[in-house]
Chains A and B, each alone.
Chain A
Amino acid sequence: QQKVQQSPESLIVPEGGMASLNCTSSDRNVDYFWWYRQHSGKSPKMLMSIFSNGEKEEGRFTVHLNKASLHTSLHIRDSQPSDSALYLCAASPPNYNVLYFGSGTKLTVEP
């Protein structure tokens, strides 16, 4: 059973629009959450991390975390075609030895 579930599987937004991606963990032991972006054929690169309840904003990217429901979301405003990629949510328990990834949301930003 996959420990991290992401939705939607794919998302198409117009250039300048808002993209909203969701992620939930079914493992009550996880404590840390990350969002990674992976372009085709490349390795993942971290976008944002969030470890506490609440919201965190960095430029056009905002993440939310609700630890009670183990749900995190990533919102990208003013989406650009260069944002088109696979977005991966990851979670780990406090010992940080294992990082569980979701299957990703494929984002396409149409000009």
Chain B
Amino acid sequence: AQTIHQWPVAEIKAVGSPLSLGCTIKGKSSPNLYWYWQATGGTLQQLFYSITVGQVESVVQLNLSASRPKDDQFILSTEKLLLSHSGFYLCAWPDKNTEVFFGKGTRLTVV
């Protein structure tokens, strides 16, 4: 069975500080991977998708970047956090034509 692991579970970071969030998927070869963001009380928005190692496509611009350094790993980062980056970050992979599976998420609070 496929599993998605996200780290960290939660972060409290200062405005202007860097950020790195990680996602690893096990049990699936060459998965498509997605990053989603959900502001508190807000809509779930897809930020990035990646079809293969080294290739990342942006869906929504939020002054964030993403990288796919390994087949099973997807990283979300920024060099300078804004207050508006607070929220719930979710990594996901689609099982084509059935459903998109989500990780447990990272709760980010920017202060």
Contact = CB atoms under 8 A, between A and B. Distances in A.
A46 B45 CA distance: 16
Interface of B: 32, 34, 42-46, 49, 51, 57, 59, 90, 94, 96-100, 102-105, 107
A43 B45 contact: no
Given A51-B97, A97-B57, A44 B102 contact: yes
Contacts of B43: 2, 101-104
Interface of A: 2, 32, 34, 41-46, 49, 51, 88, 90, 96-104
Per DSSP, chain A at the interface is loop
A57 B94 CA distance: 23
A51 B98 CA distance: 10
A42 B107 CA distance: 10
A101 B100 CA distance: 12
